[in-house]
Amino acid sequence: MSSTTIDLSSHGVTRHALRRRVGRVTSQVLLFIAAVITLIPFIWMVATALKPAGEVFANPPSLIGSSIEWHNFADAWNYLPFGRFMLNGLIVAGVGTIMVVASSAMAAYAFSRLKWRGRDGTFLIYLGTLMVPQEVLIVPMFIIMRQLGWINSYQALIIPWAFTAFGTFLLRQFFMTLPDELEEAARIDGASRWTMFTRIILPLAKPALGTLAVFTFIGYWNSFLWPLLIVSDVNMATVPLGLNMFLGQTGNQWNLLMAASTISVIPSAIIVILLQRHLVSGIALSGMGGR
């Protein structure tokens, strides 16, 4: 009797382990298929960047051209001041990211760790600004930038988007998961609010800060509508504007446009790779419930 029970039990464990293994294999296969589908546009972009100009729209289409034209990248870089576009993009995205992370962290700390009257109501109003479309703000912000004399300037490209409710919400959710005992112990030792914020809260919030930094950098880097309106000087153009001008000036030379697009992807890819660990853990932790 006992032998039969053990056999049935081991059989059940084996079936459970088999189901888990099949589930893992299935999930891996599905993830691989999703990754391939996601990468297809990028693979085609790089392949087009290496084709001769006359084979971009060849019929039937082919992934690889008759020859590999590595000089397309140099031609794309030199056809327009693309180095200047990249520099402008790095300045705007880099400074903008620092400002967004700093302002969002301080606002999130005030909304999550400080006790003050009307805190939750104020946060709801602040969060409600996420429902306002960017297009609605374009005209009044353009008027303000013109009155300040900031047209064709880095200030106009950076400051209007340096204070976001999204960043504040993301960090607030993370801050609220931290135990109050950490700050209580520091307060007993005589630490000020600023000391607790900079030496206790921020070091623990690296995953959330890294996540916000990635999202913000990519948002600034890919921004097109606002720079299109606020910039009229070629020397102040960012990468999306440069690609738009590239298309207009190169006509049907799509291989050069694809080469320039491939170059423009590199900074964002580097940021994601460097902060990948923080990005994954930050997304997982910042969505947890608060107190």
Return per-residue pLDDT of the chain as tens, 291 residues.
455 555 545 555 577 777 788 878 888 889 889 888 888 888 888 888 888 877 777 778 777 877 788 888 888 888 888 889 999 999 999 999 999 999 999 999 999 888 888 888 888 998 888 888 888 888 899 999 999 999 999 999 999 988 888 999 989 988 888 888 888 888 888 888 888 888 888 888 888 898 899 899 999 999 998 999 999 888 999 999 888 877 765 456 788 888 888 898 888 888 888 877 766 655 555 444 444
Q: Alpha carbon 160 to chain centroid distance?
A: 18
On whether both 253 and 146 belong to a single domain, the answer is yes
Regarding whether 45 and 152 lie in a shared domain, the answer is: no
Residue 66: inside a domain: no
Q: Is residue 72 part of a domain?
A: no
250 and 182 inside one domain: yes
DSSP state of 164: -
Is there a domain that residue 30 lies in? yes
Task: Assess whether 126 and 224 both reside in one domain.
Answer: yes
Same domain for 24 and 168? no
> Residue 57: inside a domain, yes or no?
no
> Is residue 61 a part of any domain in this protein?
no
Residues 131 and 238 in one domain: yes
CA separation for the pair 225, 220 (Å, rounded)? 11
Q: Note whether 95 and 208 are same-domain residues.
A: yes
> Considering the domain boundaries, does residue 213 fall inside one?
yes
Give yes or no for a cis peptide into 60 (omega within 30° of 0). Answer: yes
Q: Do 184 and 87 belong to one domain?
A: yes
- Residue 144 CB-half CA count within 13 A: 10
Same domain, 115 and 242: yes
241 close to 222: Cβ distance less than 8 angstroms: no
Element (H, E) at 154: helix 154-158
When divided into structural domains, the chain yields a total of 2
Domain membership flag for residue 233: yes
Distance between CA 241 and CA 81 in Å, rounded? 12
**One domain for residues 35 and 104:** no
Number of Cβ atoms within 10 Å of the Cβ of 216? 24
Domain of residue 119: give its range.
82-286
Q: Report if residue 73 sits inside a domain.
A: no
- Do residues 23 and 157 share a domain? no
Q: How far apart are CA 173 and CA 257, in angstroms?
A: 41
Burial class (CB in 10 A: 0-12, 13-18, 19+), 214: buried
Those residues whose C-beta lies under 8 Å from the C-beta of residue 271, and which sit 6 or more positions away, are 213, 214, 217, 218
What's the count of helices (H) and strands (E) in the chain, helices before strands? 15, 0
Residues 6+ apart with CB under 8 A from 262: 45, 46, 49, 73
Distance from C-alpha of 13 to C-alpha of 139, rounded to nearest angstrom: 65
pTM of the model: 0.81
